[in-house]
Amino acid sequence: MQQFNHYVILLLAALTLSACQPASETSSTTNQAPDKPVESAAEFVERIQQEGLELSKETGAAAWVRNTYITPDTAILAAKAGERGLEFESAMVAQARKYKGSEMDPKTARAIELMLRGSAAPAPDDADLRAELAEILTDMEGQYGAGEYCGSDGTCRQLQELEKILAESTDYDAQLEAWKGWRTVSPPYREKYQRFVELGNQGAQDFGYDNLAELWKSGYDMDTADFTAEAKRLWEQVKPFYEELHCHVRAKLGEQYGADKVPADQPIPAHLLGNMWSQTWDNIYDLMEPYAGVASLDVTAALEQQGYDELKMTQTAEGFFTSLGLPALPESFYKNSMIKKPRDRNVVCHASAWDLDNGNDPRIKQCVEITEEQLGTLHHELGHIYYYLMYKDLPPVFKGGAHDGFHEAIGDTIVLSMTPGYLKEKGLIDNVVESDEATINKQMKLALEKIAFLPFGKMIDEWRWKVFTGEIGPDEYNAGWWKLREEYQGIRPPVQRTEADFDPGAKYHIPGNTPYTRYFLSFIMQFQFHKALCEAAGFEGHLHECSIYNNKAAGEKLGNMLAMGQSKPWPDAMQALTGQRDMDASAIIDYFAPLNSWLKQQNEGRQCGW
């Protein structure tokens, strides 16, 4: 799964993604009347932006070094920088609330509205508690990044090595050990997470929200109850298709491992789906391939055979964006990014895009491996980078995605255009096979990534929202997690789990405090975006056959939307790109129509559901 480090960007690296970022200690309310601001709203917005940019140079550098050099020293630096960021944010929100309901121009009103949404980790209005929150966030992310599991044979493995076992092995017990092993990393910070929830909720209340769940749901230009209903509606659109895919995958896994290990009427054991978190299933495509040997899709083998390295992989991803007429990456991108895992130190390998120095220093952090999955991840991360580049000249407060799902969807929209025709043009497959069987194979591989992900993308924040509201208490963190995983995904733990475990914390976004609904929304919208860009490109044919590679008309439409940033409510940006003002999953059903029909035929006579 391609990720984006929003904790760092939102909290520590200037007024970029949610417009509620850190600034300097000079932004205190000293010399201001407690109930009436002495500045106009427009003057306040301008001052906050300038102060935020100044502090961001320090906080962004501290966060980057912490992620690329995990040591006790960098933990101290990052925590202190984070503390200053939290202090600034608290003061900013307190001041911004004074302007609520005042007369102001529309641009200023939008800026104030964005500021009042807060960040993913709002700090309490107390210096000691701010320091504690900054330390907890830094420590949890650092423990995750440095995590490793030492097996009975004395061999210690970090996450990438354990992931490889799950991705490549079909040894039930070896996969089980890797799965259990990684989940030994998270229990040590379970209590810290509980304390984070307490502090985050207090910060949200100081910002004027009931709890952190309400604050998180407030960032979508709609009432929080309406947003909750909208997310549910989108899931209901795709749920029947997911259930067909789940039914077929479970049946095939039962054939591989035996009905005793994968019963036909129960959830699937979580360690058999080729991914540490069972979030995407494309690593088990070889077990699921509908028509063996039809239209080889082994891009990884081609990358290895042709001598691709981390740099060439990244340049290939850049080449897709520039083919659309978007600008080349600045020289500093390649100079300052980390695209290869260092051998001499611990780093947070979790892929992320960074917008440092007010758009003048965009970079990515990714431990690139020479695989098809990592090539897709690079396109995802460059989607963020091109968003940064296109809205670079906006005022800082408007630098961000129309909503956070937009930011996540851009690179993945491009990946949908990596069709067999595109891959052949790049020399990554030999031939484009046009047949019904080839289509089903291609769609199966993509569905194992995209459709399998949807319920996972939905349930992570369902769990956190329940944690933040108290519906799931600290004594049932793990039980509540697995209840939702079974409900949404039809997945179960392969061995008994207890409250001594902290399985949610084995997923980066929990200790990294990155909201996750954005990914669910992005997996919906990327197909909606793809359909609109194919129409802009003048493509006529089946949606799954379309590639916008080298099409300047599609690139212009995409670039114009990116340049809007978050200066307007997201329905305006959606309309600019698609002509619609709502998010809509119908393009997914259109795209996968051949596979959906095939799955229904395969599942006839099977016992589906769980």
What DSSP assignment string belongs to 11-58?
IIS-S-SSS-----GGGS-TTS-SSS-SS-HHHHHHHHHHHHHHHHHH
Counting other chains too, the contacts that 572-575 makes at CB distance below 8 Å and 24 or more residues apart are 572/402, 573/402, 573/406, 574/402, 574/525
- The radius of gyration of the chain from alpha carbons, rounded to an integer in Å, stands at 23
Active-site residues: which are they? 350-351, 380-381, 384, 408, 509, 519
The 8-class DSSP code of residue 580 comes to: -
CA 441/CA 432 separation, integer angstroms: 13
* CA atoms of 528 and 394, how far apart (whole Å): 26
Average pLDDT (120-126) is 88
Note the pLDDT tens digit of each residue in 420-440.
889 999 999 888 878 999 999
- Quick one: pLDDT at residue 16? 31
In whole angstroms, give the CA distance from residue 233 to residue 240: 13
Does position 33 have pLDDT exceeding 50, yes or no? Answer: no
> Residue 21: left if φ>0, alpha if ψ -120 to 50, beta else—which one?
beta
Q: What is the pLDDT of residues 430-475, one digit of tens each?
A: 888 789 999 999 999 999 999 999 999 999 999 999 999 999 999 9
pLDDT, tens only, 556-579: 999 999 999 999 999 999 999 999
pLDDT at 3: 34
Summarize the confidence of residues 353-379 as an average pLDDT: 93
pLDDT, tens digit (0-9, with 9 covering 90-100), for 136-147: 999 999 999 899
Neighbouring C-alpha atoms within 13 Å toward the C-beta of 361: 16
Would residue 605 be called left, alpha or beta, if left means φ above 0 and alpha means ψ between -120 and 50 degrees?
A: left
pLDDT per residue as tens digits for the range 46-94: 999 999 988 988 899 999 999 999 999 998 999 899 888 888 988 888 8
Instruction: Indicate the domain borders of the chain.
Output: 6-147+194-210, 153-184+220-294+438-515+580-610, 296-432+522-561
What count of residues does the chain have?
A: 610
Looking at residue 37, its pLDDT comes to 58
| DSSP codes of every residue in 525-560 | HHHHHHHHHHHHTT--S-GGG---TT-HHHHHHHHH
Q: Which of 476, 483, 485, 430 is nearest to 452 (CA)?
A: 485
* Among 371, 377, 395, residue whose Cα is nearest residue 299: 371
pLDDT of residue 12: 32
What is the separation, in whole angstroms, between the first and last Cα of the chain?
25
Q: What mean pLDDT do residues 152-165 have?
A: 92
The model's pLDDT over 184-206, given as tens digits with 9 standing for 90+, comes to: 999 999 999 999 999 999 999 98
What mean pLDDT do residues 247-276 have? 97
Residue-averaged pLDDT of the chain = 90
Cβ–Cβ < 8 Å for 303, 372: yes
Confidence check: pLDDT of 6 > 50 = no
State the pLDDT at residue 38: 78
Dihedral pair phi/psi, residue 491, rounded to 5°: -120, 145
**328-340 residue pLDDT tens:** 999 999 999 999 9
Give the pairing of strands 148-150 and 156-158: antiparallel
